[in-house]
């Protein structure tokens, strides 16, 4: 992977990564920039985004910070307008932002948390696909990569709230991929990162040794490799590499 990044194969591409302030989103943004892409990083927390931006710039990459809350009215539309005015296209959209409700039986799901998860994990995803579709179609190689979870396809006790949002997430992405497959060069892929050392993972498995699972950089590099090798529309990939 080091040789691939050294050659900067994604030079000139414009990439947007949501949930880029930490974890897999941050690692993906850093890896994309190292491969030559100019990366627009978005999340709610400015200070955390600045840390990611510093890492990108220290490695010789370029990025633009776009702090916003994807669940706020019109925030995604404003972001798309800003990107359109500056670049007129989008080459890569990585949807990493997500929230994990408290693990609980279905009968005890907290309505407020469930609503928050549906809003960010599902409604914001549809909004991202809708507003960035025109910009992706202007690219010669528009690519959409969504980060999912195995619980979206394989229901698991106590994971019902999160799993339901990820099942909907997968359905939206794959439906969109089918709809644009014959009328656009844009391609859609869904990546299941598997067990990865993130804050969300620590929340779900508080007793787990973080060193027993792979770091998010492995996933970020796998996503870059997918883009370098390119992938067919409606690709589904699981990152199996261990720590």
State the catalytic residues: 162
Q: Are β-strands 62-65 and 143-147 bridged in parallel, bridged antiparallel, or unpaired? A: unpaired
How many other C-beta atoms can be found within 10 angstroms of the C-beta atom of residue 115?
Answer: 14
| DSSP three-state, residue 212 | helix
Query: Cβ-count burial of 183 within 10 angstroms (0-12 exposed, 13-18 middle, 19+ buried)?
Result: exposed
Q: Are β-strands 187-192 and 62-65 bridged in parallel, bridged antiparallel, or unpaired? A: unpaired
Instruction: Find residue 63's DSSP bridge partners.
Output: 39
Q: Which two tokens stand for residue 145?
A: 């990569």
Cα 99 to Cα 149: distance, rounded to the nearest angstrom: 12
Q: Are 16 and 230 in contact (CB under 8 A)?
A: no
């Amino acid at each position: 992977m080091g040789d691939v990044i050294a050659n900067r194969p994604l030079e000139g591409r414009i990439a947007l990564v949501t949930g880029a302030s930490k974890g897999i989103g941050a690692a993906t943004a850093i890896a994309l920039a190292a491969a030559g892409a100019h990366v627009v990083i978005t999340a709610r927390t400015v200070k955390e985004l600045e840390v990611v931006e510093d890492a990108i710039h220290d490695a010789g990459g370029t990025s633009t910070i776009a702090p916003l809350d994807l669940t706020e009215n019109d925030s995604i539309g404003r972001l798309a307008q800003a990107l359109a005015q500056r670049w007129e296209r989008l080459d890569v959209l990585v949807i990493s932002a997500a929230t994990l409700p408290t693990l609980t039986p279905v009968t005890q799901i907290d309505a407020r948390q469930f609503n928050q998860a549906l809003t960010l994990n599902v409604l914001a995803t549809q909004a991202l696909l809708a507003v960035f579709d025109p910009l992706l179609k202007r690219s010669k190689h528009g690519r959409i990569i969504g980060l999912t979870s195995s619980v979206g396809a394989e229901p698991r006790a106590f994971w019902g709230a999160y799993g339901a949002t990820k099942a909907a997430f997968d359905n939206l992405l794959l439906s969109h991929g089918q709809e644009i497959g014959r009328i656009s060069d844009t391609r859609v892929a869904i990546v299941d990162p598997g067990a990865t050392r993130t804050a969300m993972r620590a929340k779900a498995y508080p007793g787990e040794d973080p060193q027993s699972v792979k770091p998010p950089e492995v996933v970020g590099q796998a996503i870059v490799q997918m883009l370098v090798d390119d992938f067919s529309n409606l690709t589904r990939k699981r990152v199996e590499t261990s720590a």
